[in-house]
A and B are shown apart, each in its own frame.
Chain A
Amino acid sequence: MTTVNNNHYDVIVIGGGITGAGTARDCAMRGLKVLLVERHDFSTGATGRNHGLMHSGARYAVTDHESAKECIQENMILRKIARHCVEETDGLFITLPEDDLNFQATFVQKCTEAGISAEIIDPKQAIIMEPSVNPELIGAVKVPDASIDPFRLTMANVLDAQLHGAEVLVYHEVVDVIIEQDRMVGVKLRNNHNGEELDVYATVTVNAAGIWGALIAQMAGVKINMFPAKGSLLIFGHRVNNMVINRCRKPANADILVPDDAVCVIGTTSVRIPIEECDDMRVTPEEVEELLAEGMKLAPSLGSTRILRGYAGVRPLVASDDDPSGRSISRGIVTLDHEKRDGLAGFITITGGKMMTYRLMAEEVTDLVCQKLNISKNCDTATTPLPGSEPKEETKRFSFSQKAAEGRHGTLDKEIESGDAASDALVCECEGVSVGEVRYAVTKLHVHNLINLRRRTRVGMGTCQGELCACRAAGVMCSDDKSAQKAINDLNGFVNERWKGMQPVAWGDNLAEAQLTATIYQGLLGVDKLANERRIEYYEI
């Protein structure tokens, strides 16, 4: 873990989601002394709980021209700077018999106005391009949607921030803010592993904590009107589609199907929830039913495909400042200069927006930070590739796990030991994660437990949901940090976390898989009896 040497910074960024990571990168690249703090692991909030869709902007074209324009601009930028996090799948907007085909013309026109290439495709051609699509479609439009891995994207931003001198503290939670007169001068952190507290100071503090940013603001005596909206999604065992499939109509529930890595994801629902529920969201049976029923309209084969798990994220919707009732919601990027807005200097909140536009959000807030610090330096994040996305070297990858690792880490895969039987042995067979890759993640990518490891490498994200790989991974991590009891507790927590996501869809083969997992870990290994710490960390789940 990074040690905090000198605890005064130019800027402290609160929140290890994509916005915080992107902001830390931008600030560090402009030469600022940066500290990034995150209460749990990177991308545990909204960042890690969405579709993994790299919007073309087409979804917003009709309803929100501004968002659509931002999306397509950032879409084109991310293809270049985050090559290894993006799969250029393209997307279809399909019209079904129950939809109004007249909407298509408006849709295409609005897309074109926003700079999004939208090409009308003959339905028969659409079926050839994407064989899983509902064959009853009466219209299709091709747009430059793509698939993006938010875990990788966040990690790449963090790594680049570090390369530019930023310091990073994970499992450090802001428990209070330090205010002197009318200026925020720092924050009080609690180490969530050992409970120790420490104060850190900065000229500017950026609140990039997503929905939880409302709570940070509250500590500073500032009110931000946020409306947490839960969105649930289902993950299928394998890809049925290789292009993103959307419905060509006004945005509604469960109308996007995205191919992500070896799986595909249908979502989302949308339900307002109280902020207290944001740390423990559950997918309800009604949501599963709706997602499946609507999903089958996009791709009928979803009906007979194994569902791996359900999960839910929360959209950080913000009330527009100019609406005193708080009902009007801003979908765009919201940068709040609390010095101007509330008379509290040294404190800025960046919120709203989308994962898609994180870089733009980071640029906006960093511009403001620089202005406060009287620094004039241009933003380079749109043109500088992220670590791993530098131009490809011509290397020949042979084995399955080498190819999979290159997909996950891009050019950084050269840091993964391979070539000997011990390093090449597979930890996770479903996702092709080798011992070498686990070791690399543990030493270089801020991995403290199995759940962190999963976000960095996909260990346990495959069909078996940890049935075989979890204990192997715990073994590798254990031999590295010499703590068997910690590894057992970790293993117990991990298996329970996997079960939480399987539970809403526990039937058929998925249930059989879960039973086999339970038999191995409870019956055979007795992990639940060996674990001496059963604190369920909901935020990790």
Chain B
Amino acid sequence: MATETQTQNVSVNNFEQCLKCSICTVYCPVSAVTPEYPGPKQAGPDAERYRMKNKAFFDDALKMCLNCKRCEVACPNDVHIGDIIQAARIKYNTHRPKLRDMMLANTDFVGTMASPFAAIANPILKLKPMKAVLHGVMAIDKHRTFPDYSSRKFESWFKKNAAALQDKFNKHVSYFHGCYVNYNYPQLGVDFVNVMNAVGYGVHLLEKEKCCGVALIANGMPKQAKRQGEVNMTSMRKAIAQGHQVLTTSSTCTFTMRDEYDHLLGIDNHDVRDSISLATRFLYQLIEKGEIKLAFREDFKKRVAYHSACHMERMGWVPYSTRLLRMIPGIDFVMLESQCCGISGTYGFKKENYERSQAIGKGLFDQIKEVNPDCVATDCETCKWQIEMSTGTPVMNPISIIAEALDVEKTRELNKQ
């Protein structure tokens, strides 16, 4: 009996399955630039044994982890190394989040506050004295610029301009737009609606949408993240009950809701997980099945370099976005070597992380400068800020590129039933 049970050896986050091969440490972007960081293997499965003995073995160096999950992609034995580290931060970290971290984490709240004052807030946040105050008082690095707040939220645009038109379609999806689309860049949401409508899908908002919580998890506020996650799951269950897939245009929101909810927050999402998808993946799969067709403008010409966001790598979904982009006849497509850009959401905004953040991204920035594309394509909004700030090259979500290249009339014709 005893030896039989030994064949079913399973452990939390597979931490016992670690064979100490250290491949994860080789792929860790932080280890590559910071010798003080013990690396994912040591910080994860190794030190976990000691943390189980005594929580005092929690090492503040774990805060250097980007949660990029590249260690998990590299692991040949399916150890959830990044999860072990994040779970340890949630469980053992004794410091309460600072005001700065609370502000950075509450993208939802800050966005709601800032949007009505966008016209004033945007220029003020760019002023040197303001940046100096943020740097000195809030420890938000002076090199960073907050993404502009939009004066009109995506939700408002949708209700006014699009909502009424959606019911006339035969097929429907729900859209989790995320904070970035809602408060900073509604155009991406508009592009998404246009593309989905062109291929014959009506778009609907969720009954209630909260920030996915990724920044809350990263900044030590798991309880709030869990509350918000539960709201999202409830709304999504309702959408799924109507036969909707829930689509997103952000790789990180998607990853958080599909995997981190279960692994880090203990939210039961097993009945929802498979229905959450990235828009590019959804479109590509429909095209593959022959259910939809895209037609592109002949005059569209663009040199596009694709950057693989870390959480896209973790989900294994990079090919969906890149194959979709490669369908555009006028695209001059360049695949960038997969590297972390260093921003990792709110991580790079913190003064103590700025230099490390830029050192991590340097290889990527150099590549982009060498390739010299018209734009960089990526599925993650924070990668966009980092790459735009560090290279000056504009960055677009693949959905926006598709929307720009799409021959809407022709596509509508092709997808008429």
Contacts and interface: CB of A to CB of B under 8 A. Distances in A.
Contacts of A306: 9, 11, 16
A512 B77 CA distance: 10
Contact of B50 (A237, A307, A432, A507): A432
A293 interface: yes
Interface residues of B, number: 35
A421 B50 contact: no
Interface in B34-66: 35, 38, 41-42, 45-50, 52-53, 56-57, 59-61
Contacts of B61: 399-400
A322 B110 CA distance: 86
Contact of A400 (B3, B5, B21, B47): B47
Interface stretch (A122-130, A344-352, A462-470): A462-470
Given A289-B3, A429-B42, A468-B22, A237 B53 contact: no
Contact of A238 (B38, B49, B60): B49
A38 interface: no
B6 to A, nearest CB: 6
Interface in B291-305: none
B264 to A, nearest CB: 20
A107 B324 CA distance: 73
* Majority secondary structure, B binding face: helix
Given A398-B60, A430-B20, A516-B21, A305 B9 contact: yes
A467 B17 CA distance: 15
B8 interface: yes
Contacts of B6: 292, 303-304, 307, 507-508
Contacts of A429: 20, 38, 41-42, 46
Given A513-B20, A516-B21, A239 B8 contact: no
Given A429-B41, A513-B20, A303 B5 contact: yes
A242 interface: yes
Interface centre among A400, A463, A508 (most CB of B within 10 A): A400
A426 interface: yes
B20 A293 contact: no
Interface string B15-31: 01111111000000000
A292 B2 contact: yes
A508 B42 contact: no
Given A242-B53, A261-B53, A430 B9 contact: no
A91 interface: no
Contacts of B21: 516
Given A398-B60, A400-B57, A305 B46 contact: no
A404 interface: yes
A181 B59 CA distance: 65
B7 interface: yes
A389 B48 CA distance: 26
B10 interface: yes
Interface string A308-347: 0000000000000000000000000000000000000000
B1 interface: yes
A403 B11 CA distance: 25
A100 interface: no
Nearest to A259: B53
Nearest to A520: B21
Nearest to B61: A399
Interface centre among B22, B47, B56, B61 (most CB of A within 10 A): B47
A467 B19 CA distance: 9
Interface in A463-488: 463-464, 467-468
A331 to B, nearest CB: 30
Interface string A376-408: 000000000000000000000011100110000
A81 interface: no
A163 interface: no
Nearest to A236: B16
B256 to A, nearest CB: 28
Contact of B56 (A305, A403, A513): A403
Interface string A491-507: 00000000000000001
12 contacts: A262-B50, A292-B2, A296-B5, A303-B5, A404-B50, A432-B50, A463-B16, A463-B46, A507-B3, A507-B7, A509-B16, A512-B77
Given A304-B5, A512-B19, 16 more contacts: A237-B16, A238-B16, A239-B52, A262-B50, A263-B49, A293-B1, A303-B2, A304-B11, A306-B9, A307-B6, A398-B60, A400-B57, A400-B61, A404-B50, A463-B18, A513-B20
Interface of A: 237-239, 242, 259, 261-263, 289, 292-293, 296, 303-307, 398-400, 403-404, 421, 426, 429-430, 432, 462-464, 467-468, 507-509, 512-513, 516
Interface of B: 1-3, 5-11, 16-22, 35, 38, 41-42, 45-50, 52-53, 56-57, 59-61, 77
